[in-house]
């Protein structure tokens, strides 16, 4: 029954997120919202909706380890698993803004999360503390700052007047998709957390490990699908932008909202659990700056996948 709830909840979360994104994009197009803003807000945050719902429900149900583990595990799988797989399909070129702003900002917010959980002397603390409401407000402030900068940067880009536009979806259909998507996200997220907790208890594995592995990979499926499709179509920068944006949204928006609603207990989180996504972002930064310049090639992708596999083995052995 727990496995059934886990699978059913995951399917509902992914289908619900897809419906919500499609409905929101349709509404945005109907009111002539610029396409780059649709991609920046609706699609970028939309692919993080599964993580948002799962972490919010886990936080409300006093499962702070699962809420935080879901986010850090998702960021780890985003950077190493998804970018690694995408780079194997098609080398990923890096824009200057991503190189100078997005990747360093991703590193910054991950470091902030590490300090929030373990303090400035984090190497002296074997277990995490609590992410308070005030710290959640700080994370939300970092999210707002990033969005404001992104909007201002996007405003300087020129739209392509020759680009064809598809007829907008009927408004009632778009609103129906939004409502159905929200319902699927809420129901699926609750069943997913219940099933994951049951599986962890049955196997004698901590909820944090389940969250970093099964839950994180499951909720990262929208990013995985987006990255693979983008790489197959030759739009590799879209894949990278979606992943980096999703990582920032996960920490700042999801953990920010979750901890504001209910402070998150990080006692079951270990230093390695948050250090791993920080190291993965550092590895991404090094590959951009030191290997062939502004490009993640297939060798980098293979290295990312090897690191991810090694960390999962470490978690299982731990």
pLDDT, tens digit (0-9, with 9 covering 90-100), for 108-128:
999 999 999 888 776 666 667
pLDDT band at 178 (very low <50, low <70, confident <90, very high): confident
Residue with the larger pLDDT of the pair 151 and 282: 282
Q: Look at residue 159 in the predicted model and tell me its pLDDT.
A: 44
* The model's pTM: 0.77
> How confident is the model at residue 158, as a pLDDT?
43
Quick one: pLDDT band at residue 162, thresholds 50, 70, 90? very low
DSSP letter for each residue of the chain: -HHHHHHHHHHHHHHHHHHHHHHHHHHHHHTT--HHHIIIIIIHHHTTHHHHHHHHHHHHTT-HHHHHHHHHHHHHIIIIIIHHHHHHHS-EE--HHIIIIIHHHHHHHHHHHHHHHH-TTGGG-SS--EE-HHHHHHHHHHHHHHHHHHHHHHHTSPP-TT---PPPPPHHHHHHHHHHHHHHHHHHHHHHHHHHHHHHHHHT--HHHHIIIIIHHHHTHHHHHHHHHHHHTT-HHHHHHHHHHHHHIIIIIIHHHHHHHSPEE-TT--HHHHHHHHHHHHHHHHHHHHSSSSEE-HHHHHHHHHHHHHHHHHHHH-
pLDDT tens per residue, range 291-309: 566 778 888 889 999 999 9
Predicted confidence (pLDDT) at residue 164 exceeds the cutoff of 80: no
Percent above pLDDT 90 for the chain:
18
What pLDDT does 304 receive? 93
- Residue with more model confidence, 164 or 230: 230
């Amino acid at each position: 029954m727990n496995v059934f709830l886990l699978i059913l909840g995951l399917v509902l979360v992914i289908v619900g997120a897809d419906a919500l994104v499609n409905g929101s994009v349709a509404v945005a197009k109907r009111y002539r919202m610029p396409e780059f803003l649709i991609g920046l807000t609706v699609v970028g945050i939309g692919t993080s909706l599964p993580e948002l719902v799962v972490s919010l429900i886990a936080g409300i149900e006093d499962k702070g380890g699962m809420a935080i583990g879901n986010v850090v595990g998702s960021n780890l799988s985003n950077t190493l698993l998804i970018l690694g797989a995408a780079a194997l399909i098609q080398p990923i070129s890096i824009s200057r803004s991503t190189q100078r702003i997005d990747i360093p900002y991703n590193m910054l917010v991950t470091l902030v999360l590490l300090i929030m959980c373990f303090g400035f002397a984090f190497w002296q603390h074997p277990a995490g503390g609590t992410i308070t409401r005030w710290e959640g407000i700080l994370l939300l402030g970092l999210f707002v700052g990033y969005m404001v900068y992104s909007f201002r940067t996007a405003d300087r880009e020129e739209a392509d007047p020759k680009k064809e536009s598809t007829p907008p979806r009927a408004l009632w259909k778009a609103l129906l998709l939004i409502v159905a998507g929200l319902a699927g996200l809420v129901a699926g997220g609750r069943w997913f957390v219940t099933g994951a907790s049951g599986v962890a208890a049955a196997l004698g594995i901590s909820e944090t490990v389940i969250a970093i592995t099964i839950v994180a990979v499951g909720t990262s499926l929208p990013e995985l699908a987006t990255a693979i499709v983008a790489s197959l179509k030759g739009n590799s920068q879209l894949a990278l932008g979606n992943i980096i944006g999703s990582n920032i949204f996960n920490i700042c928006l999801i953990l920010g909202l979750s901890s504001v609603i209910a402070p998150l207990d990080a006692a079951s989180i270990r230093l390695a659990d948050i250090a791993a996504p920080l190291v993965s972002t550092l590895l991404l930064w090094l590959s951009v700056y030191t290997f062939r310049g502004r490009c993640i090639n297939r060798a980098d992708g293979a290295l990312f996948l090897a690191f991810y596999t090694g960390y999962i083995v470490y978690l299982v052995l731990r």
